Amino acid sequence: MSGLEPLPAAVREPTSLRNNVRWLRLLLPVAVFAAGIVAWESIVRIGEIPPYLLPGPFLVFRTLTADWAILWDSLAVTLLTALEGFVAAAIGGIALALLFNQSKWLEYSLLPYAVILQVTPVIAIAPLMLIYLPQQTAVVVCAWIVAFFPVLANTTLGLNSVDRNLAGLFQLYGASRTQTLRYLKLPAALPFILGGLRIAGGLSLIGAVAAEIAAGAAGAGSGLAYRILESSYRLNIPRMFAALLLLSAAGVVIYMLLALVSHLVLRRWHESALRKEN
Amino acid sequence: MADPAMSVHNGDAAVSLRGVTKVYENGTAALGPLDLDICKGEFVSLLGSSGCGKSTALRVIAGLITPTSGVVDVSTRSGHTIGFVFQEPTLMPWSSVRENVRLPLKLAHVANAESDRRVSEALAQVGLAEFADAFPRELSGGMKMRVSLARALVTDPDILLMDEPFAALDEITRFKLNNDLLTLWRKLGKTVIFVTHSVFEAVYLSQRVVVMTSRPGRISAECRIEAPEPRDDEFRTSVAYAARCRDVSLALMQASDAKAGT
């Protein structure tokens, strides 16, 4: 690229401007958040809305700290469920993709059912699962159902995206199937697998919550979704909001953790993890 | 003057093709019938326009494509594979330069101590000893190509197949790599089959230029390039070189005219 003319000024960003943009990206959401809180609290106060209809943000926050012991235990239950579902989805999705990659017959036979499992809303499957399986197992299975398909689809895509010349090179040097898988296909698929896992992380939480909601009324569960249901029956709306807040926070943390893992694994070679410098 | 004499060889053939054709599944006749003999230690270029089947010929010789008909005879010492350099560097982006060059040895289950030595040797040969721990993305196009060449050399192959390896490089880098390739060829005495669409590159490098017609790829002319060895930048600017280039260009034009006439 040495022969190219220098970029026009508009394309080159001065460093100060880039720093400003970075600050803005942090500041703007915080400002929106603050404005939202203020607006919310004002509406509640000015309209004199009772807490059982809409609690103000400060009441929600007070409830969060006051009920922390109960909410924390519930969060731990839900997170453990989501984690079990996620691990099962990761192992199942990757293993199934590997099997499909080794045998087209298997792929043709099973893929339609994986798709069916994916497109059927989990909230509709959950009650059935609860009939046939012990409650905790049913909830984990639901988390697994929602989370495993992105892992399967992405891993399959990755395994099929191997550079054709590199595949030729492996063939030329007489690589065995295992060697091709280990040294070529899996590393080439890694960015795709990590992308799939990032989606699966959030989905496993959604799956766990959906199943908890389905189980909630009948079951003896104590997950966060169960707390939300229970609070709604008791008209404890501030606690509902507090539990919801915790769920969102948990989802964001899961996403950020997986994004961090992805970045650490890929940082030395993959485009997605490289800093943008021309 | 180039006399397109049919190949007369002394010494054993390293590669011998007899009536080789390739018809792709979609019905495209890509190659042949092709008869070609290449001597041990010879530097031969396959020259032709893009898509004329010269890469297909190279892949048939490498065993990456099975020919539709004909006989391919490749003779190497036992345990010595063919080295192949693709048009792109074709490196594994997730591995360091050292691991990329080590790949053929790893696939052949060569012990680590032994492969360490041979990888260092191959990297030294292409002048990249200091970059063993770099990743491909940190290298320039020319350096990536050198890594690719080192990987092809690391198994000490008898035959080196090169598929337009320098086509994507700038001219200065290409000239430099041309010279380095000639030096390596003189030193290591390998048989080199070099596919290119550049008349100038073919004439500069080869002892023999095989001109091909397109669709299906057939041999339309062969030109021996007699020139004092070792060739260097002085040869590149000599009158003899210019004359050879003109002859080969003519042969190439005739090849495409003959095709257009049919």
pLDDT tens digits in sequence order for chain A, 278 residues long: 344 455 454 455 566 777 788 888 889 999 999 999 999 999 999 999 998 889 999 999 999 999 999 899 999 999 999 999 999 999 999 999 999 988 889 888 988 888 888 888 888 888 888 889 888 888 899 999 999 999 999 999 999 889 989 999 999 888 999 999 999 999 999 999 999 999 999 999 999 998 888 887 555 568 888 888 888 888 899 999 999 999 999 999 999 999 999 988 888 888 776 665 44
Spans of chain B, pLDDT less than 70? 1-11, 78-80, 258-262
pTM of the shown model: 0.81
Superfamily of domain B13-261: P-loop containing nucleotide triphosphate hydrolases (3.40.50.300)
Instruction: Tell me which of B56, B76, B94 to substitute to probe the interface with A (most A C-beta atoms closer than 10 Å).
Output: B94
Separation in Å, CA A184 to CA A92, B90, B92, B102, B150: 21, 12, 8, 14, 19
- Name chain B contacts of A2, Cβ cutoff 8 Å: 170
Which chain A residue lies closest to B63 (C-alpha atoms)? A172
How many structural domains is chain A composed of? 2
Q: B109 CA to chain A: closest CA distance, Å? A: 10
Q: What is the CATH number of the domain that holds A235?
A: 1.10.3720.10
Is residue A85 domain-shared with residue A22, that is, in the same domain? no
* Domain residue spans of chain B: 13-261
The answer as to whether A278 is a domain residue is no
Is residue A3 domain-shared with residue A87, that is, in the same domain? no
For the record, the structure tokens of B121 come out as: 């040797």
Which alpha helices (DSSP H) does chain A contain, by range? 15-46, 57-66, 68-102, 104-119, 122-132, 135-159, 164-172, 177-180, 186-216, 224-233, 237-266
Of residues B77, B95, B98, the one with CA closest to residue B151:
B98
Is residue A3 domain-shared with residue A131, that is, in the same domain? no
Is residue A99 domain-shared with residue A80, that is, in the same domain? yes
Assess B81–A contact: CB distance below 8 Å, yes or no.
yes
Assess A182–B contact: CB distance below 8 Å, yes or no.
no
Is residue A37 domain-shared with residue A61, that is, in the same domain? no
The answer as to whether A61 is a domain residue is yes
Is residue A164 domain-shared with residue A259, that is, in the same domain? yes
Assess B135–A contact: CB distance below 8 Å, yes or no.
yes
Identify the domain containing residue A5 by its residue range: 1-48
CA angle B92, B93, B94 (to 5 degrees): 90
Of residues A205, A193, A196, the one with CA closest to residue A254:
A205
Q: B230 CA to chain A: closest CA distance, Å? A: 31
Is residue A67 domain-shared with residue A20, that is, in the same domain? no
- A269–B108: do the CB atoms touch at under 8 Å? no
For the record, the structure tokens of B156 come out as: 């000490």
Q: A258 CA to chain B: closest CA distance, Å? A: 20
- Name chain B contacts of A165, Cβ cutoff 8 Å: 86, 88, 90
The answer as to whether A185 is a domain residue is yes
- The predicted structure's pLDDT at residue A180: 94
Instruction: Return all residues near A145 (Cβ < 8 A) that are at least 6 apart.
Output: A117, A118, A122, A125, A207
Q: A176 CA to chain B: closest CA distance, Å? A: 8
Is residue A27 domain-shared with residue A68, that is, in the same domain? no
- The predicted structure's pLDDT at residue A220: 57
Is residue A204 domain-shared with residue A78, that is, in the same domain? yes
> Residue A172: which of B82, B92, B137 has the nearest Cβ?
B82
Q: B2 CA to chain A: closest CA distance, Å? A: 36
Which chain A residue lies closest to B134 (C-alpha atoms)? A268
Compute the distance between CA of residue A154 and CA of residue A193 in angstroms, rounded to an integer. 6
- The predicted structure's pLDDT at residue A79: 92
Say if CB B16 and CB B193 are below 8 A apart.
no
Is residue A76 domain-shared with residue A184, that is, in the same domain? yes
Here the ipTM equals 0.84
- A174–B64: do the CB atoms touch at under 8 Å? no
Assess B104–A contact: CB distance below 8 Å, yes or no.
yes
Which chain A residue lies closest to B80 (C-alpha atoms)? A173
- The predicted structure's pLDDT at residue A4: 47
- B107–A179: do the CB atoms touch at under 8 Å? yes
- A268–B135: do the CB atoms touch at under 8 Å? yes
> Residue A269: which of B94, B103, B155 has the nearest Cβ?
B94
Assess B173–A contact: CB distance below 8 Å, yes or no.
no
The answer as to whether A260 is a domain residue is yes
Say if CB B152 and CB B193 are below 8 A apart.
no
Which chain B residue lies closest to A165 (C-alpha atoms)? B90
Is residue A89 domain-shared with residue A38, that is, in the same domain? no
Assess B142–A contact: CB distance below 8 Å, yes or no.
no
Is residue A23 domain-shared with residue A63, that is, in the same domain? no
- Name chain B contacts of A190, Cβ cutoff 8 Å: 94
Assess B216–A contact: CB distance below 8 Å, yes or no.
no
- A173–B107: do the CB atoms touch at under 8 Å? yes
Which chain A residue lies closest to B94 (C-alpha atoms)? A269
Separation in Å, CA A145 to CA A195, A204, A247: 18, 8, 20
Q: In what order do the strands lie in the sheet with B218-224?
A: B82-85, B159-163, B191-196, B43-47, B208-213, B218-224
